[in-house]
Amino acid sequence: MRTDGEDGPAALWFAGFTTRVRNALPPWLSRMLPITFIGYALINGSAFVLDMGLLTIIGHFWRLPYSLAFSIGYGLASVYAFILNRWLNFREHGDLGKQSGKYVFVIVSNYLIWIVGFASVLDWLGVQLQVARVTAACMEGIYIYLMLRFWVFPRHALDADGVDDGILPGPPGPEDAGAGTPSGTPAP
């Protein structure tokens, strides 16, 4: 794991942006949400759009079977989400092989538990298909975030509010030109 000074400008900008989003939330909500959850929601939301776009393109234009089109879209969106979460959100620079192996486990277990298992149970209970898929997506989003945060990219530092965010800078000022200061530290 690198320190703030070793992160690139894109990672520092993203950390500052997620900090500003958190600061714009109502105080009760900003105390509850870790900054990394906000970053995760942004990254994985865009990964979901990528997944649906790939599914549409592959299924419509390439006319591959649904299961193959779904698997390709899900796999590519998962790789995209891993890279961006590692680089921009959790700003982790540890053992890529170990982190990748853990992430593959998370994605496979997510697929089996939430996409196939939980959604199938909801279907068996008679829940309408789209409602079952959205419900399963909400559960899988929480599951993946918790696995990323505490197992794949664990952090042990608390920010000034006592929220377990890892090492994230505060919002950059105009004089910082993209750099941030550690959360809770006044800028010089």
User: Average pLDDT per run of 10 along the chain, which is 188 residues long?
Assistant: 68 96 95 94 95 87 84 93 96 92 96 88 86 86 96 68 43 40 42
Q: What is the pLDDT of residue 182?
A: 43
Q: Are 2 and 93 in contact (CB under 8 A)?
A: yes
The answer to whether residue 85 is domain-embedded is: yes
The answer to whether residue 139 is domain-embedded is: yes
The answer to whether residue 45 is domain-embedded is: yes
Q: What is the pLDDT of residue 5?
A: 52
pTM for this one? 0.76
The answer to whether residue 61 is domain-embedded is: yes
The answer to whether residue 33 is domain-embedded is: yes
Count CA atoms closer than 13 A to 71's CA, side-chain side.
7
The answer to whether residue 184 is domain-embedded is: no
Domains identified in the chain, total number: 1
CA dist 21 and 176 (Å) reads 18
Domain that holds residue 38: 8-172
The answer to whether residue 89 is domain-embedded is: yes
Contacts 24+ apart (CB under 8 A), 4-10: 4/167, 4/169, 4/180, 4/182, 6/93, 7/91, 9/178, 9/179, 10/87, 10/88
The answer to whether residue 25 is domain-embedded is: yes
Amino acid at 41: A
Q: What is the pLDDT of residue 180?
A: 41
